[in-house]
A and B are shown apart, each in its own frame.
Chain A
Amino acid sequence: MGSRQRRVLAAIVAVCIVIGAGYVIAAAFGPSDVNTDAQPRAAGGASVPAGAELIVRGVDPGDPRLNGQIFVLERGHAEKIPGSDLACERVYFSAGRGLCMAVAPSGVEYEATVFDSSLQPVKRLGLTGLPSRARVSPDGRYGAMTVFVAGHAYLSGGGFSTTTTLVDMRAGKEIAQLEQFEVLRDGQPFDAVDFNFWGVTFAKDPNTFYATLHTGDRYYLVEGNVRERTMRVLRDGVECPSLSPDGTRIAFKSRIGDENRWHLEVLDLDTLSAHRLAEDRSIDDQAEWLDDDTLAYSYGHDVYSVPADGSGNPQLLLRDASSPVAL
């Protein structure tokens, strides 16, 4: 390397350092917040089912990844509980205990917060990936969180996997990962390297839960038992199950072909047969039962509802909101 080359290289190094460091310093002192103040807006003419009360997360349509504040929907108005600054990416609440999955203040890590009925944090838990689904059992005893863990390429190289964790909501502690449970299919032990679980929903007896088990090109509905740490396969083609309040039906998203597009369906747990709902758009959400006849779900930056029996039409419930939770 001649002296001319050396001088050119030194100049390039200097320029690169100045640009890189300068940009980072400017970004560090620029505006950067992981939370938004965006407020849900009641949709004009939307009929909130009688008696329905909801918790939702506000969505900033310009930057939907930001943690949204938690609002309580009463009499058709979204209202913030005074004194709470809880902000989440996913939220769920039941029987006085809530679970909030959020981007941590650093902006690159994720954390979960167990909160009480006044939306005050009780306990914080670290998350190992991007928040995907949150649920709490009807009696507030157990919680379940699914995160996307990107970059753990097992077979496909650069693929993704999920981790679903069960949480003791009273102690605010993790109980187990669903990956550690024993799975039975047709009475036989069932195991594969590419097992992924997501979308837990709890029954009234909180030891019973349902979830999706993905392996190969199958998306099994499994019924699990928290105490016995077991699961058994019920049927294929069910993602993000959600058990109805009366415990007889499961709403879920059904994959259309090989694409990442889904229809909402409801299946009867006795017969395991399903019917489509009157929503033609692709829905990527774990639906929430407002009551035994109506489901709510996120689409785009808004929350919609649709009858569970396949009749009627989707109704816009709230604009700039997601993660609906029936109270």
Chain B
Amino acid sequence: MYQVASKALLKPRTWAPSGVRPKVAHNVVMLGFVSLLTDISAEMVATVLPLYLVFSLGANPLVLGAIDGTYRGAAAIVQVLSGLVSDRWHRHKEVAETGYGLSALCKVALVAVGSSIGAIGALVAVDRVGKGIRTAPRDALISLSSSKAGLATAFGVHRAMDSAGAMLGPLIAFGILLAAPARFDAIWVVSTMFALLGLAVLVLAVQGRPARAPRPDSARPSLRSALGLVGDRRFRLLLVAACALALVSVSDALIYVGLQRRIDFEPAVFPLLFVVTALVYMALAIPVGQLADRFGRVRVLIAGHALLLLVYGALLLPSLGFAPLCACLVAMGAYFAATDGVTTALAGAVLPERLQASGIGILTTAVSLGQLASSVVFGALWYSIGLEQAVVVFAAALIVALLATAPLLIRSQREPLGG
């Protein structure tokens, strides 16, 4: 634990995807495995929980929607707090462990109290809080383990592994139910095993004090200085730009409903749209991250949003064939690859080491609030003036936002914030 100084002198162990540079720190790959295992565990449960509630427990599916919606807001607040706490006491790994541990505990509890709807509601809530707690310190650890030149690649590697887990989870869950029909308890047990594995990798294989981490004896940032980030001009530029872009970006789910209205495809195909997009995202996350590190993160972020603009355009076409639909899905996957991890990398590059978790927590929360608002506004526009008109409004807003935020983003990256 206290070998920081000597560790920093040693060349950090690295892992490079097929010999491409820049190299990715061992710690990032380990954190990728933690997320992969945890996402397998979470998505296994998330996929079958509605079926379980309705069929085994006779619940109304509305219950689950209400449970989920209520605690999203709570998770956003927890995210900011956990970032602050991580920085304040130099305890990124411990805070992340608390978050992952809480979620693992929920899976264990599911095995124990799985037949009470009220208890499941509470577990879903605690699980969300766990997710809120772990995100900021984990992303800060990824950032602090990587060289500034390789930040987007590092986040790309993590996001690729993370979404691989999210895709494997449902497959494993359905595989279990195929082998043992209607035995939901087997899913809870296997999910618990994956959650514990993820936690074990975090505890045993992840470095708590990576290369760029502030020395443990360095001054503790006060909560005020962490919150003061919002007042710092350059971080605020990034915050405003990311939030504005989120606000004018229509969520994938809404885009797919729009495409469905356009093309009239079978509803059974609908979930496949998400699968294809996730596959493209997974495949492109690393190369797009490398691209961002080499040719500029802001450029890649803006190019990603330009792809989203193309998808908006497809929503305005009178009809859409199979090939253009596929192109839309690829564009959506590439858009995610060019925006999700890259935005965090932009923050990681400008934030001082001692305030990484706080800043990332604040940024992630702002972006998700922007996304939430965008969905509400787009839904309201669709309701009041129609789908095409809503898309036109959002396309115009996206163009304006891109023109307005590009200079802000470039300025925010020019020099790091004062420590």
Contacts and interface: CB of A to CB of B under 8 A. Distances in A.
Contact of A192 (B50, B176, B383): B383
B270 interface: yes
Contacts of A27: 176, 179-180, 183, 185-186
Q: Is the interface of B mostly helix, strand, loop or mixed?
A: helix
B181 A32 contact: yes
B48 A157 contact: no
A48 to B, nearest CB: 27
Given A106-B181, A148-B54, A150-B51, A284 B60 contact: yes
Interface in B303-353: none
Interface string A6-28: 10110011001101100110011
Nearest to B390: A193
Q: How large is the interface on A (under 10, 10 to 19, 20 to 34, 35 or more residues)?
A: 35 or more
B189 interface: yes
Interface stretch (B134-142, B275-283, B289-297, B374-382): B374-382
A10 B407 CA distance: 50
A107 interface: yes
A152 interface: yes
Given A16-B197, A108-B51, A159-B68, A192 B382 contact: yes
B383 A193 contact: yes
B386 interface: yes
Interface string A209-222: 00000011000000
A144 to B, nearest CB: 15
Interface stretch (B200-208, B209-217, B394-402): B200-208
B68 A158 contact: yes
Given A9-B204, A16-B193, A108 B68 contact: no
Contact of A163 (B51, B174, B197, B267): B267
Interface in A138-180: 148-160, 163, 177, 180
Contacts, number: 160
B189 A19 contact: yes
B180 A5 contact: no
Interface string B380-416: 0011001100000000000000000000000000000
Q: How large is the interface on B (under 10, 10 to 19, 20 to 34, 35 or more residues)?
A: 35 or more
Contact of B182 (A9, A20, A34): A34
Contacts of B267: 128, 149, 163, 177
Interface in B145-176: 174, 176
A29 to B, nearest CB: 8
Contacts of A149: 267
Interface string B43-77: 00011101100111010111111011100100000
Nearest to A107: B181
Contact of A28 (B180, B185, B253): B180
A103 B179 contact: no
A193 B254 contact: yes
Contacts of B48: 108
Given A154-B253, A154-B254, A158-B65, A30 B200 contact: no
Given A24-B180, A159-B65, 5 more contacts: A9-B200, A16-B196, A34-B181, A107-B182, A157-B68
Interface of B: 46-48, 50-51, 54-56, 58, 60-65, 67-69, 72, 174, 176-183, 185-186, 189-190, 193-194, 196-197, 200-201, 204-205, 253-254, 257, 264, 267-268, 270, 372, 375-376, 378-379, 382-383, 386-387
6 contacts: A1-B205, A5-B204, A20-B194, A148-B50, A154-B257, A160-B64
